Amino acid sequence: MVPTTIPTPAAAAPAASSVQVGPATAQPASSALPPPPSQVQWPPANATIVANMVTRSFGELVAVSGVSFAVQPGVSALLGPNGAGKSTMLRMLSGQIAPTSGEIWVAGGNPRTDQAARGRIGLVPQQDGVFDREMSLAVVKLAAVLSDLDEPEARARWALNLVEMDPDLNRPVGTFSKGMRQRVKIAQALVHDPLVFMMDEPLNGLDPRQRKQMVELFQHLGSIGKTVLISSHVLDEVERFGSHVIVMAKGRLAAQGDFHAIRRLMDNQPLRVRIEATQIQIVGAELIRSGAVLGCTITSHNQANVTTSDIVRFRRVVAKICQQHNSRLSELAPLDDDLESVFRYLTGASQ
């Protein structure tokens, strides 16, 4: 009997990880490498994915250079602009290609040489990789057969139901929309109930409702102890998966950790804050006069966006100014405490 929900493995729950930030455009720096054992255990005891000083070259082209990181159970996002080395890293982590130097460890072994470790990995590649003339049930059933599962058809039906696809849909996959094909690929990756899922742009082609359903599925997988690593450039959606990010730029590790914590480490970067208050023009003028903000833009009759290099002082001063001028302060909302701001800063992206 195939379960209707994915069984919970014995893996430990995600543990809080330290933030690593390093320059993405310079030579590898110590700040981008794992901390020495005297400071924190490396790799973490419950890590299911470990890359240790991994480099991959294609002739004279160095696609990935000296990258080290560890991923624990839960949902993590692998981010970076085009050409950052994300897809090359996923190909190494899934055992499709070997690193030129360095070590890869996933799900208990080297996925390139350890068949048992490779069998604990579910992969959703960016390319289609499905048989156009076959029905979706046959495509996913084949994945179950290749994984040597008992009752492969029942497992295929279970996996297709998880991604909200009708197992009995009597149409060849070649006639499917891109979103439908994408869900078939996800079902293929899920059918053998692996410990580690790696997904390269898994939301491509999905409509808003389907994206919401897939995000909820990935979150569920992470909550029951699976390790889900998602490569994506759609930052607002990635932020819904979870807050743990690995940022690559120009083949190097730019940062790893909770993106809120990474943003707080950017002490030399001014922060933008939205203020909602009555008498906003007076409040803005007084904030400029006090020196607590570097700039102020009035955006509506009761809102303004300010820039400050001292958030603690700003919060103290704005409350005092509002009190002095009988202004009712309704909201202070950070405008930079999101994944997109972190990503743009770390990669130097202009858009």
Segment 66-122, tens digit of pLDDT: 999 999 999 999 988 878 899 999 999 999 999 999 999 999 999 999 999 999 999
Give the pLDDT of residue 106.
95
Q: What does the alpha-carbon distance between residue 199 and residue 131 come to, in Å, rounded to a whole number?
A: 19
Residue 207 belongs to a domain: yes
Residue 183 belongs to a domain: no
pLDDT tier at 168 (50, 70, 90 boundaries)?
very high
Residue 9 belongs to a domain: no
Looking at the structure, do residues 225 and 303 belong to the same domain, yes or no? no
Residue 135 belongs to a domain: no
pLDDT tier at 349 (50, 70, 90 boundaries)?
low
Looking at the structure, do residues 44 and 116 belong to the same domain, yes or no? yes
pLDDT tens-digit map of 21-45:
443 333 333 334 444 444 456 777 8
Calculate mean pLDDT across residues 296-303: 94
Cis, bond preceding 43 (omega within 30 deg of 0): yes
**Mean pLDDT lowest among 65-79, 260-274, 277-291, 294-308:** 260-274
**Mean pLDDT lowest among 2-16, 61-75, 89-103, 171-185:** 2-16
Q: What does the alpha-carbon distance between residue 134 and residue 154 come to, in Å, rounded to a whole number?
A: 17
List CB contacts of 75: < 8 A, sequence separation 6 or more. 218, 219, 221, 222, 228, 230, 241, 242, 244
Looking at the structure, do residues 234 and 302 belong to the same domain, yes or no? no
What Å distances lie between residue 324 and 4, 37, 286, CA to CA? 61, 53, 10
Looking at the structure, do residues 237 and 327 belong to the same domain, yes or no? no
List CB contacts of 200: < 8 A, sequence separation 6 or more. 86, 87, 90, 124, 125, 126, 231
pLDDT tier at 193 (50, 70, 90 boundaries)?
very high
Give the pLDDT of residue 33.
42
Give the pLDDT of residue 135.
95
Q: In what order do the strands lie in the sheet with 49-58?
A: 61-71, 49-58, 101-106
Looking at the structure, do residues 209 and 328 belong to the same domain, yes or no? no
Report residue 263: phi and psi, to 5°: -65, -35
Give the pLDDT of residue 40.
58
Provide the domain count of the chain: 2
Half-sphere exposure in the Cβ direction for 73 (13 Å, CA): 19
* Last residue in a domain, options 249, 264, 279: 264
* Last residue in a domain, options 264, 285, 310: 264
In the predicted structure, residue 282 carries a pLDDT above the cut 70? yes
Strand-pair category, 101-106 with 49-58: antiparallel
Looking at the structure, do residues 245 and 318 belong to the same domain, yes or no? no
Report residue 51: phi and psi, to 5°: -115, 125
Q: 54 with 67: CB under 8 angstroms?
A: yes
pTM (2 d.p.): 0.74
Q: What does the alpha-carbon distance between residue 247 and residue 81 come to, in Å, rounded to a whole number?
A: 9
Domain limits for position 309: 270-335
Q: What is the maximal distance between C-alpha atoms in the chain?
A: 73
Report the alpha-carbon angle 348-263-272, nearest 5.
85
Give the pLDDT of residue 341.
77
In the predicted structure, residue 241 carries a pLDDT above the cut 50? yes
pLDDT tier at 267 (50, 70, 90 boundaries)?
low
Q: What does the alpha-carbon distance between residue 222 and residue 196 come to, in Å, rounded to a whole number?
A: 10
Looking at the structure, do residues 331 and 299 belong to the same domain, yes or no? yes
Give the pLDDT of residue 351.
43
CATH no. for residue 222?
A: 3.40.50.300
More confident residue, 128 or 79: 79
Calculate mean pLDDT across residues 327-338: 86
Q: 178 with 211: CB under 8 angstroms?
A: no
Whole-number percent of the chain with pLDDT over 70? 85
Numbers of helices and strands, H then E, in the chain: 11, 14
Please list the alpha-helical segments (H only) found in 177-310. Answer: 178-190, 208-223, 235-241, 259-265, 280-290
pLDDT tens-digit map of 138-151:
999 999 999 999 99
Sign of CA dihedral 327, 331, 336, 337: positive
Looking at the structure, do residues 212 and 83 belong to the same domain, yes or no? yes
